[in-house]
Amino acid sequence: MPTFAAFSIAAALAAAPAAAPDTLEQRVAACLACHSVKERGDAYFPRIAGKPAGYLYNQLRNFRDGRRHYPMMTYMVSPLPDAYLREIADYFAAQHPPYAQAAAGSGSNAGAAQLARGEALVRQGDAAKKIPACVACHGAALAGVEPATPGLLGLPSDYINAQFGNWKNRTRRAAAPDCMADIAARLSEADVAAVSAWLSRQPPDANARPATSLPAPLPLACGSVPASPASGAAGGAQ
């Protein structure tokens, strides 16, 4: 006849939770606490799903190696080897959830003249200031370019403003030559606000994917993009 202890052990075993599956999806669950599957894309946590794997990999390395600064990101990736960071980057690059509505930001108050200036900088650049068009590097559809250039749509204006500020202040860096730092230095605060306002107003296409190539060489050397003019080895990221 079974004893009370036997019943207790059986009940405890039945109540024990099943072990979590050892899959990459389970391992990146911590990432989803901020970069959720809904990809809300607010001023602090940008959409990362669908961005080129090379770009995501470079960003993970930058946080780990001190070229970008956000304590939680540094804490999470500091013990991880390159091969594991590559797996994480490949995982998120393959995800394409629907876009959530972008968070309202300062760009929502932009007037017609500011938006026109933003569009001009995005599409044509400003030759007098030696500022290349955003589309010259990020693609005509602004959906990014393989293997390491990110898309720019689906991001709130405040997040874009913050990243330009980080480049200007050299708290965000990439492998030399750091093309985005050079471009940011040439943009006035008004230009940054115009670009971020216009970009944040553009509806992202859920079916868009990073372009496989650009129709012309990059307008300046960029250490984050393999085979860009005089770029040297690929390393950091934009």
Instruction: Give the angle subtended at the CA of 59 by the CAs of 136 and 40, to the nearest 5°.
Output: 85
User: What SS3 class is residue 149?
Assistant: strand
60-98 per-position pLDDT tens digit: 999 999 999 999 999 999 999 999 999 999 999 999 988
User: What are 164-176's pLDDT values in tens digits?
Assistant: 999 999 999 998 9
* pLDDT tens track for 132-153: 999 999 999 999 999 999 999 9
CA 21/CA 25 separation, integer angstroms: 9
Which token pair is 213?
């190539």
Whole-prediction pTM: 0.84
Domain ranges of the chain: 32-201
Question: How far apart are alpha carbons 34 and 83 in whole angstroms?
Answer: 23
Tokens of 237: 């990221």
Joined together, the tokens standing for residue 80 give: 């991880």
Contact in structure between 232 and 179 (CB atoms under 8 Å): no
The one-letter amino acid at 141: A
How many Cβ atoms are within 10 Å of 37's Cβ, its own excluded?
11
SS3 31: helix
Contact call for residues 122 and 199 (beta carbons, < 8 A): yes
State which amino acid sits at residue 77.
V
For residue 107, what are the CA distances in angstroms to 155, 158, 215, 233?
Answer: 11, 7, 30, 36
Kindly report the CATH class assigned to 32-201: mainly alpha
In the predicted model, what is the mean pLDDT of the chain? 87
CA separation for the pair 178, 170 (Å, rounded) = 10
Task: Kindly tell me if the per-residue pLDDT of 4 is higher than 70.
Answer: no
Helix (H) or strand (E) holding 36: none
